[in-house]
């Protein structure tokens, strides 16, 4: 197997389904995607867990939109949210853009469309009409689930207007919790590592990037980086709800856990976050790319 970023041969990683590239640090997973397969208990739990994340996601989406608006062309109007899930990003973005979402999970997509949000069922780019194009294309926790990421990036380039923006919000392999999970996996405890790859869920992660190798990959598909930053994976706002949603704990232990996590937030901010967020601009044909450091 070749690295999707630099084409170097991939080495076996920490499990039989995990691979890593010693040349650029890209990590991949041979995990099968089973969206719209019959839902089992785990998938339903996942929907509930998502609700616990709503507050964190909405805060992060506001930060993303602030950066997008700063870098978008003044005339930018049309925004596509690929894998829009519950429509939380669409709800925030529709204040500034003409938004549209695509969602492959029929149950989630129908639920979102029933709230009056413009959601089309299916996959990107197949769900689009041949002549549809956009000024901004956003992937919130989505690009790391797409096996043929090269084809997805080429489709983004084809569907973006001149100087259009590609926005990627995704897990960071340099993140504190991911690195911790790899240490645990080496010691034989695989649960946190499997969880971060979303192994056994209908749509597991199949890629793990860091800011550098992501930039290398995207540049090969005709994009120049305009912003690279990170978003917190924990925020004080909504934290209590999130903890209450994730476990079956209650009473005093719930409050103690909340307090412990709340106190850890300032400490965690000293380490790289597990969520990175990058904005790229579609380059013009023949445009010289900036030399990457
Ligand atoms: Zn590589």
Mean pLDDT of 80-109: 95
Give pLDDT, residue 203: 84
- How far is it, in rounded angstroms, from Cα 60 to Cα 62? 5
Give pLDDT, residue 260: 78
Q: Is pLDDT above 70 for 214? A: yes
DSSP string, 120-180: EES-TTTTS-TT--EEEEEEES-GGG-S-HHHHHHHHHHHEEEEEEEEEEEEBTTSHHHHH
Kindly give the distance from the C-alpha atom of residue 201 to the centroid of ligand 1, in angstroms, as a whole number.
26
Give pLDDT, residue 111: 92
Segment 189-205, tens digit of pLDDT = 999 999 899 998 888 99
Q: Is pLDDT above 60 for 45? A: no
Give pLDDT, residue 49: 62
Mean pLDDT of 152-178: 96
In this structure, what are the phi and psi dihedrals at residue 22, rounded to the nearest 5 degrees? Answer: -75, -20
Superfamily (CATH) of domain 44-234+272-282: Vaccinia Virus protein VP39 (3.40.50.150)
- How far is it, in rounded angstroms, from Cα 159 to Cα 51? 31
Q: Where are the domains of the chain?
A: 44-234+272-282
Kindly give the distance from the C-alpha atom of residue 25 to the centroid of ligand 1, in angstroms, as a whole number.
6
Angle at which helix 54-71 crosses helix 239-246, to 10 degrees, equals 130
Kindly give the distance from the C-alpha atom of residue 102 to the centroid of ligand 1, in angstroms, as a whole number.
30
Mean pLDDT of 111-117: 94
Mean pLDDT of 140-166: 96
Kindly give the distance from the C-alpha atom of residue 216 to the centroid of ligand 1, in angstroms, as a whole number.
10
- How far is it, in rounded angstroms, from Cα 91 to Cα 112? 10
DSSP string, 174-209: TSHHHHHHHHHHHTT--HHHHHHTTTTSSS---EEB
Q: Is pLDDT above 60 for 292? A: no
Kindly give the distance from the C-alpha atom of residue 2 to the centroid of ligand 1, in angstroms, as a whole number.
8
With beta carbons less than 8 A apart as the criterion, state whether 125 and 135 touch. Answer: no
């Amino acid at each position: 197997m070749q690295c999707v970023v630099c084409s170097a041969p991939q080495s076996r990683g920490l499990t039989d389904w995990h691979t890593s590239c010693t040349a650029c640090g890209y990590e991949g997973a041979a995990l099968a995607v089973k969206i719209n397969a019959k839902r089992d208990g785990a998938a339903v739990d996942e929907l509930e867990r998502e609700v616990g994340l709503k507050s964190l996601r909405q805060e992060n989406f506001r930060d993303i939109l602030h950066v997008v608006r700063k870098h978008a062309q003044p005339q930018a109007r049309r925004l596509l949210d690929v894998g829009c899930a519950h429509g939380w990003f669409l709800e925030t973005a529709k204040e500034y853009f003409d938004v549209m979402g695509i969602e492959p999970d029929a149950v989630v997509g129908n639920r979102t469309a029933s709230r009056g949000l413009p959601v089309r069922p299916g996959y990107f780019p197949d769900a689009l009409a041949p002549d549809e194009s956009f000024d901004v294309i956003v992937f919130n926790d989505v690009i790391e689930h797409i096996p043929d990421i090269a084809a997805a990036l080429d489709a983004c380039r084809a569907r973006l207007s001149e100087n259009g923006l590609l926005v990627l919000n995704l897990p960071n392999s340099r993140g504190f919790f991911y690195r911790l999970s790899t240490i645990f996996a080496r010691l034989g405890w695989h649960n946190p590592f499997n969880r971060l790859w979303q192994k056994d869920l209908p749509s597991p992660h199949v890629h793990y990037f860091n800011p550098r190798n992501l930039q290398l990959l995207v540049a090969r598909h005709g994009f120049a980086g305009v912003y690279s930053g990170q978003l917190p994976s924990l925020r004080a706002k909504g934290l209590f709800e999130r903890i209450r949603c994730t476990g079956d704990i209650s009473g005093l232990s719930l409050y103690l856990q909340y307090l412990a996590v709340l106190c850890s937030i300032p400490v965690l901010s000293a380490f790289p976050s597990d969520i990175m967020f990058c904005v790229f601009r579609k380059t013009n044909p023949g445009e010289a790319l900036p030399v990457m450091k």
